[in-house]
Structure 1
Amino acid sequence: MTVFDVMRGGLVVSCQPLPDEPDDPMRDAYVQARVAASAAAGGAAAIRANGPDDIAAIRAAVDVPVIGLVKHGTTGVMITPTPAHAVRAATAGAHVVAVDATDRPRPDAGSFADTVRAVHSRTAALVLADISTLAEGLAAVDAGADAVATTLSGYTPTSPPTEGPDLRLVAQLAERLEVPVIAEGRYRTAQQVRQAFEAGAHAVVMGNAVTSPLWITRRLVEATPRASERRGQ
């Protein structure tokens, strides 16, 4: 049994501060570990986390699998962009390393396959390919990915953005692939989670809608009279 078997049919909770908010008070490894522990107590099947410090703290705080990544850079391929970043995530305690597997140029001029080989040969971790299109998902599995996630759909030049999650891509991948397909990206409601499983998802990742008070509060504040007054100025 692999960690993906443990995740089957479950909700994965992403515990990450907003990347464009360096002053977010939630940006602290201890805080993220407490958030992850709360999510696990609530029934989360796994936790997704960014950065070696957060990964290590969360691994020590929960008994569920940890999907780890290391974000680096501000444009293009930022999710675990090189083999070194991937090995760092695994060494910090990630059971699974999430890696950008889109067809965009990588900062080290390497390939997704290079990162897969590094993780598989140097660590005990598995590799989750974050993709944005069906073609990228198929290529990622050919390169050795242990599972595929729709994380980057709507965030690359080759994947048009959608208002909600890309359920069509989940269905396409589930129909074509034998590895687990993880639904991720703009999941915000229980109905969307159910729809993802109906489309063939192995597990569903939800992040800001669960773990970011900053993100949640901003969305709710937009419904207040004060926000309406501010927009009218």
Structure 2
Amino acid sequence: MTDLVDGLAGRLVVSCQAYPGEPMRDPRTMSQVAQACVAGGAAAIRVQGLEDIRATVAVIDVPVIGLWKDGDEGVYITPTLRHALACAEAGAHIVAIDATSRPRPDGSTFAGIVRGLKERYPDVLVMADCGSVDDCVRAESDGADIIGTTLGGYTQDRNKTVGPDFEFAQEAIQACTRPVVVEGRVHTLEHAAAVMRLGAHAVCVGTAITHPSTITGWFAAAVRGS
């Protein structure tokens, strides 16, 4: 487990996800995108959905961070132990779980999910998707192996920033002893370099690498405004 986390130090993690209804919402497509990202230097891949996890694990040789989004509001990133176990069964090396204090659909807790997952899959790591420094500290105490700033700006605890929430990232890094992966609106090379200078263990980039609709929109807007 230590080797896996150490292998991410100073490296790039890429999130390969497509939203419902999009043309790329297909496990084989996402696994191919993941392969391309690994060829470009990604040290790990983050994917959503059991079929995407299975398809990606089968074709790449770097760790897969798996999650299961169930719903679209509240706690929906791997919200229960059932979801976490399913991600591990699908082959995820790391399971990403919402670690906020918000109520879960089954009334469970983040600590209980971590405990239940570790009992069944002791070698599977947990990435805590956090929305505040309090989330980060609590998740570390509850047994998370990796702390992520994934939900910064997506809960009531912090305003959504344009670009990364550098303040949140810095405070999380200072407050935690576990590795912190900075994720969320890292849209440029400068953003990625800046969060690493803050002391992040790794940086996770999704939209700016793997979401062509958004990237095309950025360029289209720039062209129209030129």
TM-score class normalised by the smaller sequence: over 0.9
RMSD: 1.0
Q: Deviations over 1:145-184 (max 9, x none)?
A: 1110000000001111111101112211211211100000
Specify the SS of the correspondent of 1:2. Answer: helix
The answer for the alignment partner of 1:76 in structure 2 is 74
The answer for the alignment partner of 1:26 in structure 2 is 24
Tell me which stretches of 4 or more aligned residues in structure 1 moved more than 6 Å: none
Specify the SS of the correspondent of 1:204. Answer: strand
The answer for the alignment partner of 2:120 in structure 1 is 122
Q: Does 1:193 align with 2:177?
A: no
Is 1:129–1:140's contact at 8 Å kept on the other side of the alignment? yes
Which of the residues 99, 102, 113 maps onto 1:101? 99
Q: Quick check: 168-177 or 94-103, which moved more?
A: 168-177
Work out the CA distance in 1 between the residues paired with 2:148 and 2:18. Answer: 20
Structure 1 residue runs without a partner (length 5+): 229-233
Q: What amino acid is aligned across from residue 166 of structure 2 in structure 1?
A: L
Work out the CA distance in 2 between the residues paired with 1:157 and 1:168. Answer: 16
Report percent identity of matched pairs. Answer: 45
Q: What amino acid is aligned across from residue 70 of structure 1 in structure 2?
A: W
Is 1:80–1:99's contact at 8 Å kept on the other side of the alignment? yes
Q: Does 1:166 align with 2:165?
A: yes
Work out the CA distance in 1 between the residues paired with 2:156 and 2:168. Answer: 16
The answer for the alignment partner of 1:10 in structure 2 is 11
Specify the SS of the correspondent of 1:7. Answer: coil
Specify the SS of the correspondent of 2:222. Answer: coil
Work out the CA distance in 1 between the residues paired with 2:181 and 2:173. Answer: 9
Q: What amino acid is aligned across from residue 189 of structure 1 in structure 2?
A: T
Q: What amino acid is aligned across from residue 212 of structure 1 in structure 2?
A: H
Q: What amino acid is aligned across from residue 38 of structure 1 in structure 2?
A: A
TM-score, normalised to structure 1's length? Answer: 0.93
Structure 2 residue runs without a partner (length 5+): none
Q: What amino acid is aligned across from residue 218 of structure 2 in structure 1?
A: R
Q: What amino acid is aligned across from residue 27 of structure 1 in structure 2?
A: R
1:2 deviation in Å? 3.1
Work out the CA distance in 2 between the residues paired with 1:90 and 1:101. Answer: 17
Is 1:182–1:205's contact at 8 Å kept on the other side of the alignment? yes
Work out the CA distance in 1 between the residues paired with 2:168 and 2:72. Answer: 26
Specify the SS of the correspondent of 2:18. Answer: coil
Work out the CA distance in 1 between the residues paired with 2:222 and 2:45. Answer: 30
The answer for the alignment partner of 1:53 in structure 2 is 51
Work out the CA distance in 2 between the residues paired with 1:77 and 1:221. Answer: 33
1:23 deviation in Å? 2.1
- Give aligned pairs, total: 223
Q: What amino acid is aligned across from residue 44 of structure 1 in structure 2?
A: A
TM-score, normalised to structure 2's length? Answer: 0.96
1:16 deviation in Å? 0.2
Q: Does 1:212 align with 2:188?
A: no
Work out the CA distance in 1 between the residues paired with 2:209 and 2:21. Answer: 19
1:40 deviation in Å? 0.2
